[in-house]
């Protein structure tokens, strides 16, 4: 399955997650960012994660600004996502999301608010 087909399969989860983004992005922004390579889609079986690589003056960061679908599916992908981020020179990962994410799985995987 190519990237666009993967995106189409995952689109519903990302659209639902956008409801919590307080207007920072539209689905058209997401599609444009994926098409241009600005955003990296990490499709799961029952979820999707969208990354943006941010180069700060002293550190490269994998910034997850949109994720939706099964939280257990996202958690199962976390080790692979972290390894990928390290492989491209990221010093850390940052997540933007609802407070429930911290309680549900981020804290248990070494992340802090």
CA-closest candidate to residue 98, choices 24, 21, 42: 21
At 33 the pLDDT is 96
At 109 the pLDDT is 52
CA distance 106 to 113: 9
Confidence of residue 113 (pLDDT cuts 50, 70, 90): low
At 65 the pLDDT is 85
CA distance 71 to 68: 7
| 61: pLDDT strictly greater than 70 | yes
| 9: pLDDT strictly greater than 80 | yes
At 98 the pLDDT is 59
- 60-69 and 92-95 beta bridge pairing: parallel
Helices 3-18 + 27-36 axis angle, to 10: 150
């Amino acid at each position: 399955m190519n990237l666009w087909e993967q995106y189409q399969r995952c689109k519903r989860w990302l659209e639902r997650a956008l409801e919590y983004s307080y207007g920072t992005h539209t689905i058209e922004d997401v599609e444009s960012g994926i098409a241009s390579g600005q955003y990296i889609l990490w499709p799961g079986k029952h979820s999707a994660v969208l990354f943006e690589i941010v180069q700060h003056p002293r550190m490269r960061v994998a910034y997850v600004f949109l994720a939706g679908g099964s939280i257990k599916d996202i958690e199962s992908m976390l080790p692979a996502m972290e390894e990928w981020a390290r492989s491209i020179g990221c010093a850390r990962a940052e997540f933007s999301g609802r407070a429930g994410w911290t309680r549900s799985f981020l804290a248990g995987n070494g992340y802090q608010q």
